[in-house]
Amino acid sequence: MSQEAQGPDRKAYGLRLDQGLMKELKYLGVDQDRNMNDLVEEAIKDLLKKYKKKGK
């Protein structure tokens, strides 16, 4: 796990995802040499940025 994922400002959160989506995420992590936590966090940040641009 990366140092970012272990800091005191982090909070664990469990969620259920589609199996196919999880499989793709795992492969992407291997291809990019990144862990799944980093990829999910990047995706959430991108989603929030997308909707902030639309103006709530």
**Per-residue pLDDT tens over the stretch 8-35:** 899 998 999 999 999 999 999 999 999 9
Measured CA distances, 41 to 12, 27, 50 (Å): 12, 16, 14
Which residue has 């795992």 as its token pair? 26
Q: Enumerate residues 6+ apart whose C-beta is below 8 A from 40.
A: 25
Q: Is 28 helix (H, G, I), strand (E, B) or coil?
A: helix
Q: How far apart are the first and last CA of the chain?
A: 33
CA 2 to chain centre: 13
pTM score, two decimals?
A: 0.76
The domain ranges of the chain are 4-53
**Per-residue pLDDT tens over the stretch 30-51:** 999 999 999 999 999 999 999 9
